[in-house]
A and B are shown apart, each in its own frame.
Chain A
Amino acid sequence: SAVISQKPSRDICQRGTSLTIQCQVDSQVTMMFWYRQQPGQSLTLIATANQGSEATYESGFVIDKFPISRPNLTFSTLTVSNMSPEDSSIYLCSVAQGSEAFFGQGTRLTVV
């Protein structure tokens, strides 16, 4: 099974600033996904990060707010830009490997 490391695990940020979350996988994967999970809520797909092409964003999420990089098959970053308290959430990266999907431990973001 894939092992996913996310950094940072948590952060408290000032509104108006940006935070970049890193996701490192221990094996090469074609597709990586970024999800948001608000406290006590379900997971919502933000975007699909594909190596060699631009990320594909879901309805309600835009590149200016959540720019994504995918420089190689084992690494991706998600930036939460110009943060507001509404961005306080857990952000998780996920990868698909074979018939299974795996999640990182998540980044717990609090915007004050």
Chain B
Amino acid sequence: QQPVQSPQAVILREGEDAVINCSSSKALYSVHWYRQKHGEAPVFLMILLKGGEQKGHEKISASFNEKKQQSSLYLTASQLSYSGTYFCGTDSTGAGSYQLTFGKGTKLSVIP
């Protein structure tokens, strides 16, 4: 089943923070986050594996609560380049699998 992302869309001013949530009704082995700009391929941001770890990449970080089957993506001090649609992809089949089920996406717009 498709994970549920929230919010569907968000508008930020440069420098503001945002949180994007991803929740699943199925047990998860991993959660993958991607950003896709219009007309471009999705770009891998990070993967979070079963174990409740948190990862960071510059000003973008994420957490994974496997008990709640939820993941959150945190964007701090947003930049114009952060604009795009963010997708979470979930793996319910097993460790190391990339047969992902993607959420519907969260459209993030960062304005000056």
Query: What residues of chain A have their CB less than 8 Å away from a CB belonging to chain B?
Result: 31, 33, 41-45, 48, 58, 92, 94, 96, 99-106
Please name the 3 residue pairs, one residue from A and one from B, whose CB atoms are nearest each other, closest first: A96-B98, A103-B41, A42-B102
**In the complex, what residues of B have CB within 8 A of residue A94's CB?**
98
**Could you count the A-B residue pairs with CB atoms below 8 Å apart for me: how many are there?**
42
Instruction: Decide if B44 touches A102 in the complex (CB within 8 Å).
Output: yes
Instruction: Decide if A43 touches B87 in the complex (CB within 8 Å).
Output: yes
**In the complex, what residues of B have CB within 8 A of residue A48's CB?**
99
**Chain A interface SS verdict (over half):** strand
Instruction: Decide if A43 touches B102 in the complex (CB within 8 Å).
Output: yes
What is the number of residues of chain B that contact chain A, defined by CB distance less than 8 Å? Answer: 19
Among residues of B, the one whose C-beta sits closest to the C-beta of A58 is B99
**In the complex, what residues of A have CB within 8 A of residue B41's CB?**
92, 103-106
Within 8 A of A (CB), among B85-102: 87, 89, 98-102
Question: Which of B41, B89, B105 has the largest number of chain A CB atoms within 10 A?
Answer: B41
